Amino acid sequence: MSRRLVWLRHGQTAWNLARRVQGHTDIELDDAGHEQAAAAGSWVAGFGASQLWSSDLARARQTAAYVAKESGLDVVGDERLREFDLGERSGIFLDDYQERFAEEYAAFQGGDFSVVPGAETPEVVAVRLRGVAPEILAALGQGETAVVVSHGTAIRTAVLALTGMPLDLNQLRVLPNCGVAVLEQRADDPALMRLVAYGLRAPNA
């Protein structure tokens, strides 16, 4: 059996609800996010993971804590699993962004992060995700699974980068809060992974 990475997006934050750009801003889960993460924790534990990794940002760490509680696994925190750094636009409300910087906003929504002052691009984020993923896989035995708690756009980038698809973020929709993407290591080419599920979610999340 192939090694698997189960990528789990964090639960909802107040900034998600308000449609506010988070990036590296360290925002905690709101009450609904905690409920989502609690439901996801028991569901994701059903994947039988032997490793649990997480972004070091609070919203991911708090989500991972629910998985840890249900699975008995320790959380390995890694800043390489963070969301995109969105530079000068961190904290802006999307409605304000569109009104004040209409042309830039349109490009940003189209996946062109190079127009955002100080932001990371998909290429930059792909490098750090391609760096951490082999370390996670190396910690797994054959047929074992790791849960990786991260962020919406970071997970989209991971899926594209690790499967060898072009880094066009528009190929994938953003996962819902506590949504899951499952990647399996390819037997014919262990350097690449295969997307086997996308958009899964705990029934009560």
Active site residue 35: no
The residue ranges of every structural domain in the chain are: 4-201
Burial 119-129, CB ≥16 within 10 A → b, else e: bbbbeebbebb
Are 61 and 75 in contact by the 8 Å Cβ rule? The answer is: yes
Residue 174's contacts (CB-CB under 8 Å, 6 or more residues apart) are 152, 153, 156
Residue tagged active-site, from 28, 35, 70, 83: 83
Please write the tens of the pLDDT for every residue from 9-60: 999 999 999 999 999 999 999 999 999 999 999 999 999 999 999 999 999 9
Residue tagged active-site, from 10, 88, 103, 184: 10
Please write the tens of the pLDDT for every residue from 67-113: 999 999 999 999 999 999 999 999 999 999 999 999 999 999 988 99
CATH (one of 3.40.50.970, 3.40.50.620, 3.40.50.1240, 2.40.30.10) for 4-201: 3.40.50.1240
| Alpha carbon distance 132, 136 (integer Å) | 6
> Mapping DSSP to helix (H, G, I), strand (E, B) and coil, where does residue 124 land?
helix
Please write the tens of the pLDDT for every residue from 77-86: 999 999 999 9
Per-residue DSSP letters for 21-86? --TT--PPB-HHHHHHHHHHHHHHHTT--SEEEE-SSHHHHHHHHHHHHHH-PPEEE-GGGPPPPB
Is the confidence at residue 1, as pLDDT, over 80?
no
Active site residue 103: no
